[in-house]
Amino acid sequence: MHTKSLTELSIDLIQQKLSSTELTQHFLERIDLHRQLNAFITVDAERALDQARAADRRLGRGTPAPLTGIPIAHKDIFCTEGMLTSCGSRILSNFVSPYNATMIEKLRQQDTVILGKTNMDEFAMGSSNETSYYGPVANPWDESRVPGGSSGGSAAAVSAGLAPAATGTDTGGSIRQPASFCGVTGFKPSYGRVSRYGMVAFASSLDQAGPLTRSAQDAALLLQATAGFDPRDSTSVDRETPDYTATLTADISGLKIGLPKQYFGQGLDGQVELVVREALAHYEALGARLMDVDLPNSALCVPCYYVLAPSEASSNLSRFDGVRYGYRTQQYDDLTQMYAKTRAEGFGAEVKRRIMIGTYALSAGYYDAYYLKAQKLRRLIADDFRRAFEQCDVIMGPTTPTTAFTLGEKTDDPIAMYLNDIYTISANLAGLPAISIPAGLSGDGMPVGLHIIGRYFDEPQILNFAHRLQMGTDWHRRSPPGYTS
């Protein structure tokens, strides 16, 4: 059951070849069996089975939605009514949400089952899933390596067959980078396509929710269920939602694939490039045309991001003060000390680092020099993409410069960690949709992701290109050794 796609599972449920209760129990047992991955923070088996039984009743009435009865894991950044929502942080280690995020709400309206909440980098700040208060997540392809971050728990869960699909969030690559490291499909929609209501904010102008699945077809199904305008989210775009599954097999002959020279230069591992080039050759065989494009400001994406994102984080995380909810220090003499000790004890080192950087960048005398200049650069980066898309239909390249690195390898070098997102950050700065799909394995047997970026709100085009590769290859069906049965 754990090797089947969402489409296959949905058909089995509708035809009553299996029940949601049986399916949910199967995944709960796998989660328990592979606890060493540390992919989950919270698992509520009783609640999940109750939801599965309710889904079975809907299936029995013959009125199912496309995802009725499907168990799904959710990143622990989405507020989930009656469940712990910790964001991987000590400061929210006792926070039980009183409401559902829109992402959760829409999936529950289809009677999906909540398997649990997945582990993540604290407040989504990290590229390795090592900053979590609940400990690091292991990569199922090699448990000595990181799964990527910040949605590493979700990626590891889908890769290991602990869940058929999971939700994630992407601020600078936090869906796509772990998808690449774990050999799954990770999709970041256009900014504003999926509601951010109830998704705990890291950097509000960059955060976007999206799915982690085995295939592009599965990603289309989840996006169909979760996309759309939400009046509760001021950044949600009131735009018609297309049928994402309708064009998955459209002809790509004659379409142009842009290859930025900046994505194939210094710093790119040779094994990663080889796998990506083989995937590009597959597209050529399907009739697509490869062409070079220029994104001249790509090298400045990382410094731009690490001014803007920490600045927004500094503002967003000011609400966690020990007064209204969450962790509060036990001993203090006055209100000021309570604030200081609560935040010092409640936040981890990486979160503190980014709050300090952001506060500095926003401070009097430095705002113009750092934050304002970064915003201007952000516009130049978006303009680079606009000019590139005048020449091509999609942009492709590697998702990450290397395969997954070992646990602890980069924890003492924040800059090296930040540079791992060098190919993914630009899509967030520009607000563009992007997907990472499995393209093959490196020489040491680790997954390599192909990164596809599209025009604003052109998710169908990206999904089509991703699906066409997966129709002709089986990399998305591969499971890590030891997790097939």
What CATH number is given to the structural domain containing 425? 3.90.1300.10
Q: Which of 148, 194, 248, 125 is nearest to 433 (CA)?
A: 194
Q: Which of 252, 77, 39, 300 is nearest to 157 (CA)?
A: 39
Q: Annotated catalytic, 174?
A: yes
Indicate the pLDDT class of residue 365, thresholds 50, 70 and 90: confident
pLDDT reported for residue 364: 87
Residue 33: its H or E element? helix 20-33
345 has pLDDT over 90: yes
Mean pLDDT of 364-382: 94
Following DSSP, what letter does each residue of 69-107 receive, concatenated? T-EEEEETTB--TTSB--TT-GGGTT-B-SS--HHHHHH
pLDDT above 70 as % of the chain: 100
Range of the domain at 116: 1-485
pLDDT reported for residue 59: 97
DSSP 448: E
Q: Which of 20, 89, 150, 436 does the annotation list as catalytic? A: 150
Q: 211 pairs with which residues across the strands?
A: 167
Mean pLDDT of 265-276: 95
pLDDT reported for residue 340: 96
pLDDT reported for residue 398: 98
pLDDT averaged over the chain? 97
Which carries the bigger pLDDT value, residue 237 or residue 485? Answer: 237
275 has pLDDT over 90: yes
415 has pLDDT over 90: no
pLDDT reported for residue 420: 87
pLDDT reported for residue 139: 98
Following DSSP, what letter does each residue of 226-280 receive, concatenated? HBS--TT-TT----PPP-TTTTTT---TT-EEEEEGGGSSTT--HHHHHHHHHHH
**SS3 assignment, position 145:** strand
Q: Quote the CA–CA distance of 392 and 220 in Å, as a whole number.
A: 23
Mean pLDDT of 277-296: 98
pLDDT in tens, 138-166: 999 999 999 999 999 999 999 999 999 99
457 has pLDDT over 90: yes
pLDDT in tens, 46-86: 999 999 999 999 999 999 999 999 999 999 999 999 999 99
DSSP 116: E
Q: Annotated catalytic, 150?
A: yes
Q: Quote the CA–CA distance of 480 and 184 in Å, as a whole number.
A: 11
391 has pLDDT over 90: yes
pLDDT reported for residue 414: 86
What's the number of domains the chain is made of?
1
**SS3 assignment, position 435:** strand
What number of H helices and E strands is found in the chain? 15, 11
Q: Which of 75, 106, 188, 410 does the annotation list as catalytic? A: 75
pLDDT in tens, 75-127: 999 999 999 999 999 999 999 999 999 999 999 999 999 999 999 999 999 99
198 has pLDDT over 90: yes
Q: Which of 20, 128, 159, 174 does the annotation list as catalytic? A: 174
pLDDT reported for residue 1: 85
End-to-end CA distance of the chain: give it in Å, rounded.
Answer: 10
Q: Quote the CA–CA distance of 213 and 72 in Å, as a whole number.
A: 10
Indicate the pLDDT class of residue 485, thresholds 50, 70 and 90: confident
Q: Annotated catalytic, 17?
A: no
